[in-house]
A and B are shown apart, each in its own frame.
Chain A
Amino acid sequence: MNAITVRGLTKTYGRVEALRGVELDVPEGSIFGLLGPNGAGKSTLIKALVGALRPSAGSVAVLGHDPLAQKAALRPLIGYMPQGSALYADLSARENLRFFGSAHRVPDLAARIDAALGFTELTARADDPVYGFSGGMKKRVSLACALLHEPRILLLDEPTAAVDPHLKVRSWAMFRELAARGVTLFVSTHLMDEALLCDRLAVLQRGRIIAVDTPAALLQRGRTRLRVAREGVEQTSQIGSAPRDLAAALHAFGLPAEVESIGLEADSLETVVLGMINEEAL
């Protein structure tokens, strides 16, 4: 079943078309990434999904509900983390959580706040005012606010933008844990390495969806440059990005014919640097 269905969604601001006939199906229980450059329309699309924006045309259904006409039924089911922190800087993390949690009238709010603070690793700073927090910590408070009422769908607008690599890794571990519990995550990002961590990806460009696929399938649409040096002579060729393409290209260099595919999985620079930081800390 689809958690989100979008059909022909268009939003115009005067002569500017922010969204142009967006079509999207997001399966329940998945991490769905919305990838696109700044200004592509990612935040506009998320705002339409949470009912903060009235579409110029088209329709949106989130868990079967129209975000505008059935907002009362939908809002307890969704958690929204906006691009900015959207917190009260003078209040502590706990006070922010208590305020936004009170809106949902969740039972046993104090225990849920403690659990959300623990999940986002904020317990030690729970009673400090938010204005003293780093950008990453504010993001975690914001995420905790979105989680308090245990929503079925989490809509996260660039949740790890401007966040340090260590925290980014921890955030994605949290997202995976939530997805394992059956929560659907709709995550917008302009970071390619982050997009690779999603189950499916939609690429948004100038308000239009130009591709929807798994990250692996999208990668296979690219080309790989193969450089082979033999006896001082380097040969460069362009091959497909699928593991079978690499094996096929290497057959010409003596790779046994029974090897059907070769996949390479190199650590990203982020993983390498994080490893170095962790080693140094020990």
Chain B
Amino acid sequence: MNRTLVVARRVLTQIAHDRRFLGLSVMAPLLIIYFLKIFFDTMPAGFNVARYIMPVAAFLVHFLAFLLCAIVLVQERTAGTLERMFINGFQRVEIIGGYVLGYTGLATLQAVVALIEVVLLFGLDYSWPTLAALFGVIWLLAIASVMLGIFISTFARHEGQVFPFIPLIILPSVFLSGLLVSPELLPDWAAALGHAFPLYYANNVIQEVIKPSSDLGAVWPNFLILAAYGVALLALASRTLREVE
């Protein structure tokens, strides 16, 4: 079997064996979305919940996919299994490729479950093409998040060193990517900085497709940018994952 698939199979077997990890990975966004429902129910009538809830669901998937992948890959280093993989002959590209495939499986599950809950819980009435576009963009964001996690993990020597990247990379995206306020309302430099986050492009697509008369054609470059973001991070991670001390 191709060694990338060997790594992916091992990652998926591990996730399947660790039911607590799997349960929390899927249940945590569901629970937070439920809390958001309680929160948004306090808003005055006419408040546009859809404008916020779908990007927030995308953010949750983005955050968890990034965090779980980064921490698990750092654990590989601290446990010595990463070194053992290299000495056993696995190549960098095979290890990263296997991780992307394995965690994309988990990210897909998170994206599907979060999307279904949001639609059902908030009673959103979207057409199938809209739902397909929403799933596509959240899924692409999740893959980019997995790659971001892999890339960031190369700078951390232990699990604790992953956490400083959360206020550095993840939290600013909440405020600068259009999740809470339109980037046009931000100072120019902050709006420009928002373009650095993958969530910005995901939010662009979401805000467009949830409009009653949406035009997917107007935002399709955002899909490409998200995909390019993932590929660029994959290339960077392939260069920064240390094989030799």
B161 at the interface (CB under 8 A from A): no
With A and B bound together, what is the CA distance between A84 and B244 in angstroms? 18
Among B27-35, B46-54, B87-95, the stretch in contact with A: B87-95
The tally of residues in A whose CB lies under 8 Å from a CB in B reads 29
**What's the nearest-Cβ distance from chain A to residue B218, in Å?**
46
Contact residues in A for B87 (Cβ distance below 8 Å): 50-52, 75, 78, 80
The interface bits of chain A over 68-104 (1 if a CB of B lies within 8 angstroms of the residue's CB, else 0) are 1000100110101011111110110001000110111
Contact residues in B for A85 (Cβ distance below 8 Å): 80
Q: Is the CB of A52 within 8 A of B13?
A: no
A-B residue pair count with CB separations less than 8 angstroms: 67
A86-B83 contact, Cβ under 8 Å, with A47-B245, A102-B6: yes
Residue of chain B at shortest CB distance from A52: B83
Q: Is the CB of B80 within 8 A of A53?
A: no
Q: Is the CB of B84 within 8 A of A90?
A: no
A198 at the interface (CB under 8 A from B): no
Residue of chain A at shortest CB distance from B245: A53
Task: Give which listed residue, B81, B88, B244, contacts A53 with CB less than 8 A.
Answer: B244
With A and B bound together, what is the CA distance between A95 and B88 in angstroms? 15
A95-B3 contact, Cβ under 8 Å, with A51-B244, A86-B84: no
Contact residues in A for B89 (Cβ distance below 8 Å): 72, 75-76, 103-104
With A and B bound together, what is the CA distance between A76 and B13 in angstroms? 25
Contact residues, A34-88 vs B (CB, 8 A): 47, 50-54, 68, 72, 75-76, 78, 80, 82-88
For the residues of B in contact with A, the DSSP-based class is helix
Q: Is the CB of A84 within 8 A of B80?
A: yes
The interface bits of chain B over 8-40 (1 if a CB of A lies within 8 angstroms of the residue's CB, else 0) are 001001100110000000000000000000000
Given contacts A82-B83, A103-B89, 15 further A-B contacts (CB under 8 A): A53-B244, A72-B89, A80-B87, A82-B80, A86-B79, A86-B80, A86-B84, A88-B14, A95-B13, A100-B85, A100-B88, A102-B3, A103-B85, A103-B90, A145-B84
A129 at the interface (CB under 8 A from B): yes
With A and B bound together, what is the CA distance between A53 and B89 in angstroms? 15
B86 at the interface (CB under 8 A from A): yes
Contact residues in B for A99 (Cβ distance below 8 Å): 6, 10
Q: Is the CB of B80 within 8 A of A103?
A: no
B1 at the interface (CB under 8 A from A): yes
With A and B bound together, what is the CA distance between A99 and B90 in angstroms? 11
Contact residues in B for A95 (Cβ distance below 8 Å): 10, 13
* Closest 8 A/B residue pairs (Cβ): A86-B80, A103-B88, A90-B17, A102-B6, A53-B245, A86-B84, A75-B89, A103-B89
Q: Is the CB of A90 within 8 A of B18?
A: yes
| 28 A-B pairs in the complex with CB atoms less than 8 angstroms apart | A50-B87, A52-B87, A52-B243, A53-B245, A68-B244, A75-B89, A76-B89, A78-B87, A82-B83, A83-B80, A84-B79, A85-B80, A86-B80, A87-B81, A88-B81, A90-B17, A90-B18, A91-B13, A95-B13, A100-B84, A100-B88, A102-B1, A102-B6, A103-B3, A103-B88, A103-B89, A103-B90, A104-B88
With A and B bound together, what is the CA distance between A102 and B88 in angstroms? 9
